[in-house]
Amino acid sequence: MDIKVVVITGAGSGLGASLAKKYSVMGCHVCLLGRTVSKLERIAEQLTNSYSIYEVDVTSRNAVANVMESIKEEAGPIDLLINNAGLGVFDLAENLVEEAVHDMIDINLKGTIFCTQEVLPSMKKHNQGIVVNVISTAGVEGKVNETVYCASKFGVRGFTESLALELKETGIRVLGAYMGGMKSPFWDGILSAERIKDFMDPDDVADIIIENTKPRKNITVTEVIIKNKM
């Protein structure tokens, strides 16, 4: 499969930005999706190929539907969707305010579902496409101070594994990417620079994801777990 149009949510920083730059170098048309246009524009300036910028709130099915339709009209069929947008609020379970609970479930879980729902009909029509869900190791094991964050990511894991089964007899591939902490703005206001200095580099994680989405004869990679050497 020749990947031409790549859609990345949460493309304004961290892993999303790294993936955008790398797919651009590969000659893909990269669609940068996020809530803050200025961040997307800063990343777009570093791309080497054609791109599109779309402001979107992934928690709104209607907003997602409109953006995905615009992408198909302006860039063509979506070959690769990377659900990377995510939010984490970390504290003891009883201390998490209602807004934080809603935000994590809505962005991490519902956002992934809504974006995927909107690309599937076209991918099924062409019988090809790739959906990559960036899940985090919080979708594999429970962690202290991450009760709801883990709940949202375990939800994405269930969605991803079930989706892969639904699409088993099609030409569409699904990859769940589970990684530990990365050096990124995700941790701003949560962990100090000292705490994240030995975290993984988003560029390295991006390389691993890209390698595992490449078509290979008689091989299907359904998940990859990437952990810190700590």
**Residues with active-site annotation:** 149
Strands 5-9, 129-134: pairing is: unpaired
- Asked if 76 contacts 4 with a C-beta cutoff of 8 angstroms, the reply is yes
For 218, counting Cβ atoms within 10 Å of its Cβ (0-12 exposed, 13-18 middle, 19+ buried), the class is exposed
Per DSSP, 70 falls in state H
Q: Where are the beta strands (DSSP E) in 2-137?
A: 5-9, 29-34, 51-55, 80-83, 129-134
**CB count in 10 Å sphere of residue 122:** 17
Q: How many CB atoms lie within 10 A of CB 222?
A: 14
